[in-house]
Structure 1
Amino acid sequence: MKVFLVEDEFVVREGIKNNIDWESHGYEFCGEAGDGEIAYSMIQKTKPDIVITDIKMPFMDGLTLSRMLKAEFPWIEIILLTGYEDFEFAKEAIKIGVSCYLSKPISGENLIKEVDRIALRIEEKRQEREQARRYEQEMEERLELEKREFFGDLITGGKGFSELVDQARKLSIDITAMEYNIVLLKVWSTRHDAYEYSNSVVEIEKSIKEVAEKAGAIYFDLNVEGIALLFRLGDEESLYSKIEKCIDEMKSVFDRYHHIRYFGGIGQTAHRITEIPKSFEWASRAFAHMYLTSENGFLYGTEEGLNPENEDVILSEIDPRHIDRKLIKEFLRRGEESETGFFVDEFLNGMGKGAIRSTMMRQYIAMDIYFCVADFAENELGIERESREATVETPTPEILGSENSTMEYLVRIISSAVALRNEGARGHYRDVVNEVKAYIEERYTEDDLSLNSLAAHVNFSPNHLSAVFKQQTGQPFIKYLTDYRMNMAKELLSTTSKKSNEIGFMVGYKDPHYFSYLFKKTQGMTPTQYRNGETSEASL
């Protein structure tokens, strides 16, 4: 911690400065001044933790200096020194928020005792602030995870209206409206591979969130799959108007970055919460065109494939003589398995709706895509020919006999190649994730264990590690860490008689209230109920 001294008497100032071995006590003597006016400018630059100042000084006295410092740097602790036994000074010092009021002369031993006492308080406050910061960060990560799970429930149609409304209310989300529409968006940097997130992408995503929330849209972070925005409004015309306005604002953000690519898919209006899955399907169809164009933009999902009023993306008619293998390769390198069906559908639609109906054209298209996938597996994934032939299915007359079986075959072989690519990536990062898991097992009792500290340990950026960890384990880091700690807590509850607040501390939670809250939220019961063998609320 840094200490700054303000004293107009040169002899006293030199005595305090030189008669105390500040460094051996753990302090940096960072500066001195003979009056408050000079001191104020110096303190603005050095930003000490503790200021020791006389009250009576020329130009600016100690009380005035203290008042100004507390207004600008409220965390600075101040020790006032005075040779005057005036109670009015003491009252004013207390009002300002001065830490200590000492009478001169004072020995170096007594002064350092007061400095040590104040330093201990500063450290306690720092720890409290850091604990609060980590608590807020963990709560924010958990909220994002719960919102992601809620979005999954919205688009799969697995839950009814009342369940979704109740789930949204718990997340403080107002989901009720007359109409809904979904926008899917992905932003990536051309300077990084598929797993890397540059600082500019992180900045852009923060700006997108601000723009979306300003427009009243609900922002969902889908991790490596991109971003989803759920728009709600009263009538279709104004809903589309709101989306267009939001898109224009997002474009102004994108325009500030020259190495950024982006693509968005916009669904059709849904008039009920339970129709949102259909809106998501149309948005996904439009979103699949990200792999069919090298242009940035937003595409509306419609029966015609493109909203006539939207000029962001204009896809040329692709005729069978000009099948672009680069589009297939682009998807194989960057696409997700969940997107394969939409991609194949839109890729074929680009050739004209009649292309897949012709037996000859089906054979031509299927064989061309087969050779493209085989080449990707062999030359980019490094799979030997014998292994490749066993994993990349060869088209047969039976498969190519109908439109449906051909479509299913194309989805199947492209999905298999993407799965092979992902498996290769998982293998590449397996050692890193295993190291992270081992680190968690060793350090889970430490309350400051976080994604940031783990990322620093394995020399990854936090966003990069988050994406890799999710792909490798199938769950977000914060959920994995929480589940691990909860399992250790349950073991301690079952095998020891320790109090729940002690157990919370032992598994990494200094705040007993937060531990109890998290235990009940994840296990469906309180720690006491678990110890007593009661049934969880989730199973009732």
Structure 2
Amino acid sequence: MATEIKVLLVDDEPLERQAIRFLLSRERPHYQVAAEAGNGIEAVELASVIKPDIVFLDIRMPGMDGLAAGREIRALLPEARLVFVSAYGEFDYAREAVSLGASKYLLKPMDGEEVIKLMDELAFYISAARRRRQETARLKEALEKMKPLIRLGFIMDLINGNITAGEAESRALFLGVTSLPRLALLVDIDNFANFAQDGAEIERQLLKQRVKECIEKAAATWPGALVAPVTGDEFAVLLPLERAGKEYDARRDAIRLGEAICRQVRRETGVTVTVGIGRPAESVTGLARSYAEAAAAAEFRLLYGGDQVIHADDVAARSRARRFLPDREEQELAQAIRMGDRELARRQAGRILMELTLEEERPSLLKMKILELVALAANAALEAGADAEAVSDLTLAASGEFLHLDNLADMRQRILERLMELVDQVATSREQRNSVLIERAGRFIEANFSRDLTLEEVAQQVYLSPCYFSRLFKQVKGQNFIDYLTRVRLRAAKELLLNTDLPVAAIAERVGYHDARYFGQVFKKQEGYTPGVYRKIGGAKFAGSTD
């Protein structure tokens, strides 16, 4: 499709303008002469209205000459192409025309072919420039649509520590973030798991959106605050600290903001949230630490209840206290859970629980210590491949149960039972995983038994060491690898003996035995007959013996 070009003709001689108009209408009708002007002043006025792509300007005109008009049109329309025309070939005119960004300087009388060639060249560049502008506009529009995702990615990189100071400044500038954050809050919806069990998915999403809007409404009082959902029921609130005023106190103001968030969510949604607050970071690169502190503080909801603000400073004493589980005992319990060893895990956990309940006299700290024990067991179970949802359910159940128990004996017994359930989850998951791997190995053997198949090759298919694979295969299949492979091969051989007239030697070759005599020996040992006898007594329609 030809490019439509708007042309403005400026010349004090009507015949000159008429000649160009006629030439274009005959040779290039899609190059539209949008307007004509007889002097520079009129040309500038018309250019501001019609916004031509190409302007033919006669240099010598009364009032305002072409060079003066060109300067003003260039200021109005930087993309317009200027073509200066004059009957005078003086160098000074040409030099000033070039300084104005002239696309061409033509002398009268103009050659028609030269004009058409020039117009085609200019149209090509104009068309290319239009495409570039359209592509740029399209990309800008797409980028604007992507900005919420880019903003979310920026926040996630900040709280995970995956960004340098330079990158943070660059991305903040692009997103219009004027002050980089240095303080993190984590907002967690209380009892969201229970709500989610009873509600449809759309209700869950609507609730999260309403909570997010409440957080944003409350955070709007803090200039530059960034809010983003980070997990299913948690939100990050990142705050810059460049606030003016003598009375400014980051801790106090952050707590006030957290309390405002709690009130806003409670009032508008009917649910409650817990707000954890970290300590201020020295720079944006320390924000990940502040967020980790906020997340750790929010976890104390399990001890203190929800619908409140918990600052990292308020629970810092817990982290400075002596570690209550010695590394050796931790490692032994974790290893027993990872191995799925129920008895060993029971003994080790029972010993730890007894020590805790005898040594710790403060109920609140005892509960916190048992929380850490449950977390240790849950992590070990997950590392061993236990089902994440089942581990989460057991951990939440254990945490909820023991927080309401006042009797130490009952507490020890209940937690011990839950820990054993975690061990059982590990054992179940391991059995399922092992079964899947061995079934996959069995299918590989079924598909490749006719080759010189080795235990090492099959073990490699399921990414296990040959030694471990050999033990696991026998445990799951009830027979070792060679016996299983032999049974698969002989089953295929029996099918061929009863349903084909292939010679025994050929059948041996087909099922993976290159020595027909050895095949016959293996067959007789397993079946009690030679292949030939088996074929005869099996009722095959082929009577001839092929021994």
State TM-score, norm by structure 2.
Answer: 0.37
- Tell me which structure has the larger Cα radius of gyration: 2
